Chains A and B, each alone.
Chain A
C-alpha cells in the first residue's frame, strides 16, 4: 500500500510564498500529483511530477525527490482565492497506477 503524509493546516499572508510538503512511502512509484480543492467543490489538477526536480507552472511549482519520498508544492504571490485544500496523490504500479490521495493540507490565506 501507500502511505502519504502532509500537514493538516497552514496559514499564510496575501502576497507571501508558502511551501506545502508531502512525504510518501510506496513501491513501484509512477508519479506524484497535486490537486486543489475549494470547499464544497471538486478537486482540480495542478501538477504532475514523475522525475526528480522542479516543475513550474505560473505561480505554482512542484518539486519531487524520489530517493527521499518527498515532494512540495510552492505557491508564490498568494491571493485570497488560493485558500483551499491541497491534495498530494501518488500513483504506483501496486495500485494499478490509480492515484492514492493524502488527507490534504488546508491553506488559509489572510490579508
Chain B
C-alpha cells in the first residue's frame, strides 16, 4: 500500500497570495516528483528530487519552487499565486533503482483554484 499524503486537498485563494502544497511519504523513497495536471490533459513533470538537498526542474516551466530537506517531505511553494496557476498538483515517489524510475506512487492531489 502506498503511503503518500498531500495537503490541502482543495484550496481556493486570491491572486498574489503565497501558498505551500505539502507532500509527505512514509515509504523511505529517495525519489519524489511533482506533476501538474489539467482536466483531460497529460501529467506534466514540474519538479523532481533524487534525495535530500537534490531538486531539479521538470519538463514544464513552472514559477513554483520546491525543497527537499528531509527524505519524507517535498513541499511545493508558489510565492505569488495567479489564476494561470489554477490546476491539480500531484505528488509522487518511487523506490531507488539503478536503471529505471520504477512504479510511481501518487498522492491524492491538491486542487488549486486562484481567483
Asked if A91 and B101 sit within 8 Å, CB to CB, the answer is yes
A43 contacts the other chain (CB 8 A): yes
* Residues of chain B with a CB closer than 8 A to A35's CB: 104
For the residues of B in contact with A, the DSSP-based class is loop
Q: Which of B87-115 contact A (CB under 8 A)?
A: 90, 99-109
Report which of B33, B41, B42, B99 forms a contact with A30, defined as CB distance below 8 A. B99
Assess whether A95 is in contact with B43, with CB atoms less than 8 Å apart.
no
19 contacts between A and B (CB under 8 A): A30-B99, A31-B100, A33-B104, A35-B104, A41-B108, A43-B90, A48-B102, A48-B103, A87-B42, A91-B100, A91-B101, A96-B48, A97-B100, A98-B33, A99-B101, A102-B42, A103-B42, A104-B42, A106-B40
Q: Report the interface size for chain B: residues with CB under 8 A from the other chain.
A: 23
Beyond known contacts A41-B108, A103-B40, A104-B42: 7 more, CB 8 A cutoff: A8-B40, A30-B99, A48-B103, A98-B45, A100-B45, A100-B59, A101-B43
A97 touches B101 (CB 8 A): yes
Report the bound CA distance from A31 to B97 in whole Å. 13
A45 touches B45 (CB 8 A): no
A50 within 8 Å of B (CB atoms) = yes
Contact in complex: A101, B59 (CB < 8 Å): no
> A81-111 CB contact bits vs B (8 Å, 1 = yes)?
0000001000100011111111110100000
